[in-house]
Amino acid sequence: MAAHDTKPEVRISKGLRHYKVGYVSVQHIKRATGMTTYYSRTPSLHLKGDWLAEAGFRTDTPVIIAVERGQLVIRPAE
């Protein structure tokens, strides 16, 4: 009887994803003159796709990112 009350588990299309760290340009402006002094590159990683929702990360889901050497662990905030 309990089987009727359970939801089927959503299947994630691919369990392993390959991405590449890119960068975003940051413009540095001298306040006194308002002129750009230089641009710097900051590492950036953009995650997007339906697989995020499949994994439980719907739009506006707050997340916690645990940062360790060589890995990032992303979990929904509780």
| Torsion angle of the four alpha carbons 54, 67, 18, 10, in this order, in degrees rounded to the nearest 10 | -10
In the chain, how many domains are there? Answer: 1
Q: How many residues does the chain have?
A: 78
Choice between 9 and 66, residue whose per-residue pLDDT is larger: 66
Task: Indicate whether 4 belongs to any domain.
Answer: no
Task: Indicate whether 47 belongs to any domain.
Answer: yes
Task: Indicate whether 39 belongs to any domain.
Answer: yes
Task: Indicate whether 66 belongs to any domain.
Answer: yes
Task: Indicate whether 48 belongs to any domain.
Answer: yes
Task: For residue range 10-61, list pLDDT tens digits in order.
Answer: 677 888 899 999 999 999 999 999 999 999 999 999 999 999 999 999 999 9
Q: Residue 72: which domain range?
A: 16-76
Task: Indicate whether 3 belongs to any domain.
Answer: no
